[in-house]
Amino acid sequence: MENPATPDPARDPVPDTAPLPALYAPERVIIVDDHALVRDGLRTVLEQAFPACEILDADGLEPALHLLATAGEADLVLLDLLIPGIEGLSGLETLRERYPATPVVIVSGVTDRQVVHAALAAGAAGFLPKSLPRGALLDAFAHVLAGGIYEPEMTAADTPFAAGDEERAIHARIAALTPQQRVVLGKLVGGRLNKQIAYELDVSMTTVKAHVSAILHKLQVFSRTQAVILANRVGFRE
């Protein structure tokens, strides 16, 4: 005779706010994102799913590395792809190099297929679009914590825009650049290296690197090459 105290998932589905099984419960998670709203949102999801988990957060790569060095290694690191001061996948690569046993999952608003595949190829344990609903996020966390690699399903919304829509989106991103950032973008399109840009604009290499990082962030790309490709699509020049 069936024990009536045993829940039947078919009749009694687990509520979306229920903690995940202890098998998948991490002891420490670090959230790395420059937007406080995103960090708070992820923290809320994690606190509900893993009540006993220590959740730390950082607004950049260096603070995250400091946390890992002082608090100890984490069971999971959630890393935003487009953090100011980080070019391309360098943040992911740094974390993977220094803490190879720690799963690093990218959490990003960018869901281009090439970006997803590049991040996974660089060692990410998963790629979570920020548009994922809470339930899907929890499934992805459980999958990664169990040793898997999470790759999101691509939908029509993740495919390139129609040509006109895409160009308008690119123009809007470029319009968000400061005048100096537009000048630097023009130099990138012209094939200049950072040291050449620094010489031509009479600024330091540090300043140029800061401008390039800001450009990548605002254009929502992860490499200089992608920034140049976007600029070329709309005919942006020096």
Q: Which residue is listed with tokens 């660089």? A: 122
Phi-psi region of 213 (alpha: psi -120 to 50; beta: other; left: phi over 0): alpha
Say if pTM beats, i.e. exceeds, 0.85: no
DSSP secondary structure code for residue 16 in this structure:
T
Query: pLDDT confidence of 81, banded at 50, 70, 90?
Result: confident
Mean pLDDT along residues 204-222: 85
9 pLDDT higher than 60? no
Mean pLDDT lowest for which of 20-29, 60-69, 87-96, 115-124? Answer: 20-29
Is residue 79 within 8 Å of 91, Cβ to Cβ? yes
The burial class, CB within 10 Å (0-12 / 13-18 / 19+), for 225 is: exposed
Distance CA 124, CA 95 (A): 10
